Amino acid sequence: MSVGDRPAFPVPQLGDSMFGEGGLTTYQYPGSSGMTYRQWLVGQVLCGMWGDPELAWTRDQMAEQALDQADAVIKWMDIEEQGARKLSSTTDPR
């Protein structure tokens, strides 16, 4: 599973019990995966774009760029997580 497909802020299923007039009552609150990390990251990129008063792009251009930027970050996170990222000796003098 790609990093981008994972939940950004998952909420686990919760249970609670309370005493009331009828005795003990148990409540179950379903968990939620919420938005994906990709969706969250796109929103972060858009916030940065909206904060630039000199950026004169259309909404469609901003959306496309935000998706491209988020996908680029996720691509590198996936590679890094898989342990496949290798730096060449020319870029890493160690």
At 71 the pLDDT is 95
Please report whether residue 45 resides in a domain: yes
Q: What is the 3-state secondary structure (H, E, C) of 42-69?
A: HHHHHHHHHCCCCCCCCHHHHHHHHHHH
Low-confidence ranges of the chain (pLDDT < 70): 84-94
Q: Is the pTM of this model over 0.85?
A: no
At 84 the pLDDT is 57
Instruction: Say how many domains are in the chain.
Output: 1
Nearest to 75 by CA among 35, 46, 37, 33: 37
At 90 the pLDDT is 43
Burial class (CB in 10 A: 0-12, 13-18, 19+), 25: exposed
Question: Domain span at residue 68?
Answer: 34-84
Please report whether residue 89 resides in a domain: no
Please report whether residue 63 resides in a domain: yes
At 22 the pLDDT is 72
At 86 the pLDDT is 52
Please report whether residue 77 resides in a domain: yes
Please report whether residue 41 resides in a domain: yes
Please report whether residue 67 resides in a domain: yes
